[in-house]
Amino acid sequence: MEELRLDDARPSGRGSRLTTGLVLLALVVVSVNLRPAITTVAGVMNQVPGVFGLDPSLLPLLGTLPVLAFGISGPIGPWLARRLGTGPAVAVALLVLAAALIVRATVSALLLPGTFLAGSAIMTASVLVPQIVKANRGTGWWTGLCTMGFGLGAALGAGLVQPLEQAFGGNLPSALAVWAVPALIGAFLIHRSGGRPTAAPTTAGTITGAPDVVTPLRKQRTAWAVTAFFGLQAMLYFAITSWLAVYLVSRGLSPADSAALLAWFSIAGLPASLLAPVLAGRPAILRIMAPGLGLSVALALLGVLAAPAELQFLMVGVLGIVQSAGFGLAMALVVIRSAGPQSAGRLSAMSQGFGFALASLGPLGAGLLHTITGGWEVTFWVLAAEAVVLAGAGFLAVRGPLVSVESAETPQQVPANPSPVR
């Protein structure tokens, strides 16, 4: 099968390597922009009612809205990419994100709608990242750098929101709106990197006589297993990032220390988010890693629940490592378990669309359990049980045939047991 890239008129040699490097740089910058809109608010959740006049009872909804938007807006990315090209489609999404960040911070009445719009823009860009990686035949390092970008953005959002607030003279809206600047930079870089509409290759390398009948995505068990894995790890992630700081305050830590530990949760996971997709390229490791990460998250959650305040730095760090590794693996599975770029794009939209719709229950459910029980024990035990289910989804996701939705990407063109991303 001929190589498919963002721009099918790439120069060869040194120019091609430079162009490919610019695509990777643009992808990393894009990835960094796809979490601060969430973690900046999570880091100052206790301040939001007073600053924006939001009813405290709506705080669980504020934490849920971006994830709910993820679940609804999954199909927008592939649709937009077919019309504009992958690069321009991501650029448009980042421009919308920048506008949403400014509007929700400067107009109090639009805090909730702006947060929903920001989530929709994030999802539109996010689903195209695996498609671009697959189209460029990116290695596990590509996926790892992108997932590390997600974690870095989350850490910067949580860790810098209060210093930025102080830098702006105690003005929280300005500290939230300033994140529109890196979004604009990301839009410029990804647009400059190019990106024509990606179509399945039909020329050299295609085996004639391949059947045109392709099993619909919704009937492919591997696709549902990858979707379940993505959704369950995302549900855990958003439940943790929405309420970890609040939980730590209830354990006696100051709001500033709690926000710092939320940032530490993301920072500690950066190496894991980079290395997990690389290690997933080894089949023997992948078979252990997929279910093992779910069990590790369960144990880490219970460790955070049981640890005294003095040990929370250690336990939150461990939780950040295993949780970030789970996200890195989820992104890698979309690339590894798909037969080609079009299949990767469709599987990305399905896994992130349905997955984030499921994940939207995380912040809301965790908040409601805390409200009903008046404590955090039940919440953490339920999240740990969910992590065990995640282990089961991982077990199933790495078994079975590759996901394929294009006749040009049928198994006749791909080895029966292709090596995962190398």
Sequence-separated (6 or more) residues with CB below 8 Å from residue 380: 301, 302, 304, 305
| CA-CA-CA-CA torsion sign (51, 57, 58, 63) | positive
Tell me the average pLDDT of the chain: 82
Give the pLDDT confidence of 266-293 residue by residue, as tens digits: 888 888 888 888 898 888 888 899 899 9
pLDDT band at 233 (very low <50, low <70, confident <90, very high): very high
pLDDT beyond 50 at 408: no
Number of structural domains the chain divides into: 1
Domain contains 207: no
Smallest CA-to-CA distance from 386 within 239, 244, 210, 250 is with: 239
Evaluate if residue 413 carries a pLDDT over 60.
no
* Cα 121 to Cα 179: distance, rounded to the nearest angstrom: 14
Q: Residue 38's pLDDT band (boundaries 50, 70, 90)?
A: confident
Q: Residue 307: which region, alpha, beta or left (left: phi > 0; alpha: psi -120 to 50)?
A: beta
The pLDDT of residue 10 is above 50 = no
In a domain, 340, yes or no: yes
For residue 60, pLDDT beyond 80? no
- Output the DSSP codes for 50-86: HHH---GGGHHHHHHHHHHHHHHSTTHHHHHHHHH-H
Using a pLDDT cut of 90, give the percent of the chain over it: 36
User: What pLDDT shows up at residue 323?
Assistant: 93
Decide if 344 contacts 131 (C-beta within 8 A): yes
Please indicate, yes or no, if residue 418 is contained in any of the structural domains: no
Number of other residues whose CB lies within 10 A of the CB of residue 260: 21
Domain range spanning residue 386?
17-201+213-409
Which residue has better confidence, 79 or 94? 94
Find the range with the poorest average confidence among 2-11, 36-45, 184-193: 2-11
Q: Average the pLDDT over 143-170 and give the result.
A: 87
Mean pLDDT calculated for residue range 77-106: 92
pLDDT given for residue 344 in this prediction: 77
Least confident of 7-11, 211-215, 391-395: 7-11
Q: What is the DSSP string of 233-291?
A: HHHHHHHHHHHHHHHHHHTT--HHHHHHHHHHHHHHTHHHHHHHHHHTTSHHHHHHHHH
What pLDDT score was predicted for residue 98? 97
The reply to whether 9 falls in a domain is no
For residue 137, the model assigns a pLDDT of: 67
Alpha carbon of residue 308 to chain centroid: 30
Confidence class for position 130, pLDDT limits 50, 70, 90: confident
Per-residue pLDDT at 382: 95
Question: What digits encode the pLDDT tens for the residues 337-370?
Answer: 888 777 877 888 888 888 878 877 888 889 889 9
Say which residue, 72 or 302, is predicted with more confidence: 302
Q: Between 210 and 58, where is the model more confident? A: 58
Question: Could you give the dihedral angle defined by the CA atoms of residues 156, 161, 163 and 168, in that order, rounded to the nearest 10 degrees?
Answer: 130
Q: What is the CATH number of the domain that holds 260?
A: 1.20.1250.20
For position 410, what pLDDT does the model report? 43
Which helix or strand (DSSP H or E) is residue 308 part of? none
| Residues 6 or more apart in contact with residue 381 via CB below 8 angstroms | 302, 305
For residue 414, tell me if it sits in a domain: no
Count of all residues that appear for the chain in the document: 422
Instruction: Output the pLDDT for position 90.
Output: 92
- Structure token pair of residue 274: 């980079």
User: What local confidence, expressed as pLDDT, does residue 213 receive?
Assistant: 59
> Which residues share a beta bridge with 99?
none
Does 83 or 318 have the greater pLDDT score?
A: 318
Q: Give the SS3 label for residue 217.
A: helix
Which residues are within 8 A (CB) of 73 and not within 5 positions of it... i.e. 6 or more apart? 119, 120, 123, 124, 353
Buried/exposed 2-31: b ≥16 CB within 10 Å, e otherwise: eebbbbeebeeeeeeeebbeebbebbbbbb
Q: Average pLDDT, stretch 376-403?
A: 92
Closest to 333 (Cα-Cα) out of 287, 379, 368, 302:
287
Determine the pLDDT at residue 115. Answer: 94
Answer yes or no: are the C-beta atoms of 281 and 140 closer than 8 Å: yes
> Domain for residue 8, yes or no?
no
pLDDT value, residue 205 = 36
Gap between the Cα atoms of 352 and 20, Å rounded: 25
**Neighbouring C-beta atoms of residue 188, cutoff 10 Å:** 15
Please tell me the predicted confidence (pLDDT) of residue 212.
Answer: 54
Residue 9 has pLDDT above 60, yes or no: no
Give a yes or no: residue 337 inside a domain.
Answer: yes
Per-residue confidence (pLDDT) for residue 91, from 0 to 100: 94
**Degrees, nearest 5: CA angle 134-406-227:** 60
Across residues 100-116, what is the average pLDDT?
94
Rounded distance between C-alpha atoms, residue 264 and residue 266, angstroms? 5
Whether the pTM exceeds 0.75: the reply is no
Identify whether 5 is part of a domain: no
Q: Is the pLDDT of residue 208 over 70?
A: no
Give per-residue pLDDT as tens, 238-265: 899 888 988 999 988 888 888 889 889 9
- Say what percent of the chain tops pLDDT 70: 87
